[in-house]
Every structure is written in structure tokens, then in C-alpha cells.
Amino acid sequence: MTDAPVVDRITNVTAFVGDRFEPRVVDLRLADGRIADVVAPGPAQAESRQEERTLDGRGLFAFPGMIDCHDHLRTLTPGLASAEGLSLDDFLRVLWANGAEMGREEYRIGATLGSLQRLKTGITTVVDHCYTFHAPGLDEASIEGYGASGVRWFYARGIMTRPFEPVCEAWDDAEAKIRDLVASGLVARDRLFVAPVSIRQALPEEFARARSLADDLGVGLYTHVAETAEEVDVWKREAGASPIRALDSLGFLTEGTVLVHCVYLDDGEIELLAERGAHVIHCPTNNMKLAKGFTRVPDLLAAGVNVALGVDMMLDLLIEMRTEIGMQAAHRLDPNAVSKLDAFRMATSSGARALGWGDRTGLIESGRLADLALLDARSLLQAPLIDPAYALLYATHPGMVRHVLVEGRLVVRDGRSTLLDEDALIAEAESITRAYMERIGFPEGPWFRG
């Protein structure tokens, strides 16, 4: 693996600048991995060394690198028919049974492939809610995989103590491993979350233990919650309260808490989330595919709750932004239920804020990390280009991502990874997946080249 090239300047680019995502034709000057300045376009640089470290932004959009706040990157079998069309609980049981046959190589290649796929769609930061831990070395294998791609990664280290015996983990074992991740320096504190998976997979008292562990280590908290009506019933039966109230009584709601889905909330729970400063991650395409319902995103935003987006095993955040707008408009019968500006923030700056990096990334402005996605702005699909925000949101797809920078380093150039041989990665992924599919008893078709 080689180092990614460093970029010092992007010229004549249509950038979405600042918290209002104002489209402006500018030059972006980069230094030490940050955006040093956003200035009016200047003359082209003639010196060869400067040209080598300069990107010509003509005909391109510069958008803040998007932030995928919730994902599971070990999905080596997208579209596997054994789980297709099932509701969430049955879907999960199939995933757990299949997951029991995964080992280090599957976790490593899944993390590498998944994080590079995200990068190539303009995502520069991903949170992997990683579980199950049914074999040795799975933490290390996942972390190795993220590092290979060049993505900025956060590790929501899942804890699943029930109910599916082949892939369960004792609490004490999980806690010891999480402590070792910090002590060994394998995961930085500001990129780690203690993440009991959900009430389906952890006991109520374990959420209180998670808070104590997170406080002791100085890391964040993370979980799925209020995802289905059945889950709400479990919280009420086992903890005596609705999900958000129960989590609050267990001490789980803090300004460093990230809550995924939050589909079933009442008004009081929304107010409680706002008071505690907890963050909500919405995954609209996943919620539609698994028929979970409609998260009250407009109400959460109105109450001052920080809401960000997650891909959650789907495709990309370009789709999630417009899906967020469309699903809320249809559900509320209000085309302005979620605005373009809301969606842009949810995919970028709100995600940074949820991860505790709100002053470091997520916007194009001086001093921020140079995490950038450069996308086509002059394609036939976008013509005529009248409103850049509309074109980006509704007429741009992942295949239009040309370059991606993480801290000023060009990790994707002309649509290809600068760090990995993509053809070799595909071949390796198919080889590992073929052996895995044989173990779970699912034959591949003739189009699969494993």
C-alpha cells in the first residue's frame, strides 16, 4: 500500500461553503491537512511541483466529506435471498446465524471493502457498529480493514450478551476487550463508543454498566433504540418505561450519546433527548426497506435535537439525503418538512457534531480538516445547471464522485482508490465470500466470480 498524494490547492471549484452551504466558485488552499483559506479564484500555478499538488476544480462541486454515522461493514453478501423481505427480528436472526460462520478474514475484508465503497461515494468518515464477537481477533481484523482504505473511522464496539447463543459474549469479556482497545492504543478515545447493541441483545442493567465504563474510559455511548413497536414493548416489560425514559433512568443519555433509529418516540421523549443533548441517527432507506416506520425527524429538529444520517448497509448518503426529504414530505404531506439545508447538515456537520468532532470537520471553511468530496457538476444529467444545491441533491449519483480527500490526502482520484488495487480487492473479497457462502450453505450463481 502506498501513501495517498497530498493536495495543496483546488482551483476554480464550485464549493458549498460554510454552515449555509452557499455555492461559490473559489480556490481552496490546503495546508497540514486543513483548509487554510477559501478565496476568490486566482491565476493557474505554473511550477510543476505546485501543479502536481493542485487539483483543477473546473466543472466540479466541492462538498464537505459526508459522515456515515451508522453502518455495519461486514455485509459480504448483499442481496442474499435467505433474509430478503423479512421483518427486522427475523432478518436479524438470519444475520446472526450466518454471522456465526464469519471469522477474522471475513471481518477484515468486509471492513476494507465496505469502507472503500463508502469513500468512493463521497463519505470520508464512517462509524462501524461492530458485532458480533464470537471468535478471537475480530476487533483487530476490523480495525486493520478500515486502515487499509484511508477512511476516517469510528468504532462503536458492540456488546451482545443475548439472545442468540452462538454469537453471544459475556459482559465481562466485552468490557475487558474494550479496556484493552484503549490501553493498547488500538482505538483513540475520541473515536470509540461503548455500544450495547439494543435491548434485544443486552439486558437493561447493562446499559447502566456501559455508562460507567464509558465514563471511566472517557469515550462515547452508542446503541440502537426505539426501532420497532415490539422493541418498545420489551423496554416497558423489562425496564418499566418507554425506551428513552428507560435509558435516561439508567444514566445512558448524555451529550456523548448516539442513538440510532428512534422511530417510536412520544413528545416527552423528544423533549428529554433535547434536554440531555443526546444525538439521533436516522437511516431512512434502511427503515423503509425493513418497514420500521417514520422517525419524527421534523419534530426532533424543531425541538433542537441534533439529527444525522447513517447508511446502515444500504448504499450512500447522496441517496439518504434525498430519501430523507422525500419520505418526510410524503409522511407529513408537507414538501418542506425537511429542507435541503437540513439534509445537507444531517449528512455532514450534524454528523461531525454527533461524533464529538463538530469543530473539526463537516464544513468547508478555514481551519476545518480538509475532508472533501469533489463531484461532477457539468454532466448531462445535471444540465442546465441553475441551482447547484438542487443539482447535487437530485441529479448527482455516486458514479459522479471524482476525487475524495481525507485530511488533504487524495484517497480517491478519478474515481479510483490511490491506496488499494481495486481489482485485487474485488478478487480477494469474492474468494473469501465464496468460502463463507459454502459454509452457510448458499450456492453462488454463474455471475459470481469467486
Q: What is the CATH number of the domain that holds 177?
A: 3.20.20.140
**Among 300, 321, 354, where does a domain finish?**
354
Measured between alpha carbons, how far is residue 229 from residues 119, 196, 313 in Å?
34, 19, 22
pLDDT in tens, 327-349: 999 999 999 999 999 999 999 99
pLDDT in tens, 188-205: 999 999 999 999 999 999
| The pLDDT value given to residue 446 | 77
Domain check: are 148 and 39 in the same one? no
pLDDT (average), residues 252-261 = 98
**Among 315, 338, 354, where does a domain finish?**
354
Task: Give 308's strand partners.
Answer: 281
| The pLDDT value given to residue 49 | 45
pLDDT (average), residues 3-19 = 97
Measured between alpha carbons, how far is residue 80 from residues 4, 23, 341 in Å?
34, 41, 36
Domain check: are 312 and 170 in the same one? yes
34-39/22-31 β-pairing: antiparallel
Confidence label for 91 from pLDDT (cuts 50, 70 and 90): confident
Domain check: are 229 and 341 in the same one? yes
Mean pLDDT of the residues in the chain: 94
Domain check: are 338 and 371 in the same one? no
**Residue pointed to by grid coordinates 455532514:** 348
Domain check: are 295 and 398 in the same one? no
Q: Is the model's pLDDT at 45 over the cut of 60?
A: no
Domain check: are 236 and 382 in the same one? no
Residue 172 covered by a domain: yes
Domain check: are 133 and 159 in the same one? yes
Residue 434 covered by a domain: no
Residue 431 covered by a domain: no
The CATH number assigned to the domain holding 43 equals 2.30.40.10
Inter-residue contact 201 to 162 (CB < 8 Å): yes
Dist CA 311 CA 27 (whole Å): 31
Supply φ then ψ for residue 270, to 5 degrees.
Answer: -65, -45
Residue 446 covered by a domain: no
Three cell numbers at 449? 466470480
Confidence label for 425 from pLDDT (cuts 50, 70 and 90): very high
Per mean pLDDT, which range of 133-142, 162-171, 369-378, 395-404 is the poorest? 162-171
Domain check: are 50 and 90 in the same one? no
pLDDT in tens, 286-296: 999 989 999 99
Confidence label for 46 from pLDDT (cuts 50, 70 and 90): very low
| The pLDDT value given to residue 48 | 39
Residue 424 covered by a domain: no
Distance of CA 12 to the CA centre of its chain: 30
Distance of CA 48 to the CA centre of its chain: 37
Residue 444 covered by a domain: no
Does the N-terminal peptide bond of residue 132 adopt cis geometry, omega within 30 degrees of 0?
yes
The residue type found at 332 is R
Q: What is the residue range of 377's domain?
A: 9-64+362-417
| The pLDDT value given to residue 76 | 83
Confidence label for 47 from pLDDT (cuts 50, 70 and 90): very low
Per mean pLDDT, which range of 95-109, 199-213, 404-418 is the poorest? 95-109
Domain check: are 180 and 300 in the same one? yes
Q: Is the model's pLDDT at 51 over the cut of 80?
A: no
Domain check: are 124 and 222 in the same one? yes
Domain check: are 291 and 150 in the same one? yes
**Among 354, 377, 404, where does a domain finish?**
354
| The pLDDT value given to residue 444 | 72
Residue 1 covered by a domain: no
123-130/66-71 β-pairing: parallel
Largest CA distance in the chain: 70
pLDDT (average), residues 251-257 = 98
Q: Is the model's pLDDT at 1 over the cut of 60?
A: no
Task: Give 259's strand partners.
Answer: 223, 280
Number of domains in the chain: 2
Residue 436 covered by a domain: no
Domain check: are 44 and 74 in the same one? no
Confidence label for 450 from pLDDT (cuts 50, 70 and 90): low
Dist CA 198 CA 190 (whole Å): 22
